[in-house]
Structure 1
Amino acid sequence: MSFSLKGVAYITGAGSGIGQYTAYALARQGARSFALVDRNPSTRTISELKNISPDVSVREFELDVTNENAINDSIEKTVKEFGRLDYAVNNAGIGGSIKTSDQIAKCDFERVIAVNTTAVWLCQRAQIRQMLKQEKLTDSYRSYRGSIVNVASMYGLVAPPLNVPSTAYSTSKHAVIGLTKSDALAFAHRGIKINAIAPGYVMTPLVQEHMGKGEMIETERLKVPVHRYSEMEEIGDCIAFLHSDAASYMVGATLVADGGYTIV
């Protein structure tokens, strides 16, 4: 079944990394209306979207995803401009300190939870409230009022190894998967599809910043059965799939895209 994404997309963390390449993937599958959310300008993302299709329309929001009012306002303005909200990708996140619980400061732990978990909930709550107001995009039994994908992590499924003790990060991503399951159950019968993706190591700026020093990045690469890190476009393609009608019977699922890391 071929993908056909004709609705309005809302992506957090869209200025770089997975969010950026998710926007490209959705555009390649037909999406033409985008709300791009990031703390920094999404200039490069917008430029490439225009290269993919000159008729792409973009509304850019520079905001902190932990700001409840700013998130609610961005959803409202997205709908005012484009008429509805069909594909939401809650991707914005931070890595935090690579420390165990005895080493990490309370403020550092809480910051990771605020960005990676609470902000995802804030975004998803606003998205659900909007999606409940609108009808399905098409009359097909595969169609929904809206689709949400939360970006978790393979460390939302398993504990990080001892040489990468990202306690706060892992905790936050386990919570994202729990949130995904809970809201998927609550709103599936009301026409909203919610899933998560659990990427493995992806060559994002965040990964390179936190693991690009010393031997850690090479040590972890060799643990991946395919012996390479994912490219950002591979994760973007997976997210596009989850939003598509091809994934219409996937509800509350976590799609694992980790090169086999968690099967070992």
Structure 2
Amino acid sequence: MAFSLKGVAYITGAGSGIGQYAAYSMARQGVRSFALLDRNPVTQTVQHLKKTYPDVKIKEIEMDVGNEAAVNDSVEQTVKEFGRLDYALNNAGIGGALDTTDKIEKEDFERVMNVNMMGVWLCQRAQIRQMLKQAKWSDSYRAYRGSIVNTASMYGKVGPTLPATAYCTSKHAVVGLSKADAIQMGPRGIKINALCPGYVLTPLVQSTMNKGSVMDDERAKVPIQRFASMEEIGDIVAFLHSDASSYIVGSSLVADGGFTIA
């Protein structure tokens, strides 16, 4: 079915990568009200949206997702600006050191967990609290009070081939959090899912390709012999927020080109 998105979107990590392209995809499907959040400026995302969709309204918020007060305030600001919060993408995350457990320092492990796991939990908690206060966005049986998508990873489903212990642990936690809250919040009208992408051609990954890097070896393991474009993953986010995915609840949707089945 064709689908459109008409509500208010809240996206962390919106300054680049998946967050940026999710905003573009959601705008193509009709969203015109955005809260865009990042620790870094979201200038490029904002400029593209405003140039392509002159009627778009954007609330820019600089935020560390590990800061509880800042997260709660960001949701309050979004609702004050737009009246409600319909679609949330909890996407901010870091890779961390490529070390095994015997080598990684405690503070480095905690830093990854604070952003990738605790940051998602803080955002999701604030979003749920708001969504429970608002009515469904339509009278359709497909409608919800709100939809939340958490960016996990294919390494939230399987163990990594690289020594990314902290990252893998954090993304497994995101999958578990998404499932647990989906069970409790589904009956209350909030749809929650996790997205588990494989390798994506972000600017950082692109800069290392064809230089004999480990990324070239990883690409060779993908059955379709390429990494995902940022646009492809952004489109999946839009789909998961749409009525077309109304019966997808608590999933950890894998989009990895077949990497984890090879």
Q: Relative to structure 1, is the Cα distance of residues 113 and 36 closer, same or farther in structure 2, using a 3 angstrom cutoff?
A: same
Deviation at 1:52, TM superposition (A): 2.5
5+ residue gaps, structure 2: none
Q: Give the number of aligned pairs.
A: 262
2:221 matches 1:223: yes
Aligned pair in 2 of structure 1 residues 123, 211: CA closer, same or farther (>3 Å)?
Answer: farther
Long gaps (5+) in structure 1: none
Q: Which residue of 2 aligns with 1:119?
A: 119
1:254 counterpart residue number: 252
Matches of 1:212 and 1:174 in 2, distance apart? Answer: 30
- Asked if structure 2 preserves the Cα contact closer than 8 Å seen for 1:27 and 1:52, the reply is no
Report the Cα distance in structure 1 between the residues aligned to 2:192 and 2:168, rounded to whole angstroms. 21
1:179 aligned to 2:171? no
> Could you say what secondary structure the match of 1:59 adopts?
strand
Alignment partner of 1:70: what SS?
A: helix
Runs of 4+ in 1 over 6 A off after TM superposition: 209-213
- 1:30 aligned residue: 30
CA–CA distance in 1 between the matches of 2:210 and 2:82? 40
SS of residue paired to 1:6: coil
| CA RMSD, Structure 1 to Structure 2 (Å) | 1.3
2:47 aligned partner: 47
CA distance in 1, matches of 2:100, 2:8: 40
Deviations 1:236-264 (A, max 9, x none): 00010000000000000011110000111
Matching residue of 2:85: 85
Could you state the TM-score of these two structures normalised by the residue count of structure 2? Answer: 0.97
Deviation (angstroms), 1:28: 0.2
**1:231 counterpart letter in structure 2:** S
Deviations 1:66-113 (Å, cap 9, x if unpaired)?
Answer: 111011001001001100000000000000011110111110000000
Per the TM alignment, residue 207 of structure 1 is displaced from its structure 2 partner at its CA by 3.9
2:2 and 2:244 in contact (8 A); partners too: yes
- Return the alpha-carbon distance in structure 2 between the equivalents of residues 120 and 21 of structure 1: 19
Tell me, what secondary structure is at the counterpart of 2:121?
A: helix
Cα-to-partner distance string for 1:216-238 (whole Å, 9 max, x where unaligned): 01100000001001110100000
Q: CA deviation at 1:53?
A: 1.1
Distance in 1, matches of 2:49 and 2:233, equals 17
Say whether the 8 Å CA contact 1:49–1:56 is kept in structure 2.
Answer: yes
Distance 2:160 2:13 in 1: 23
Could you tell me which residue of structure 2 aligns to residue 21 of structure 1?
21
1:71-110 to 2 correspondence within 5 Å?
Answer: 71-110=71-110
- TM-score, normalization by structure 1: 0.97
**1:63 pairs with 2:63:** yes
Q: Given residue 150 of structure 1, which amino acid in structure 2 is its aligned partner? A: N
- Letter of the 2:157 counterpart: L
Aligned match of 1:142: 142
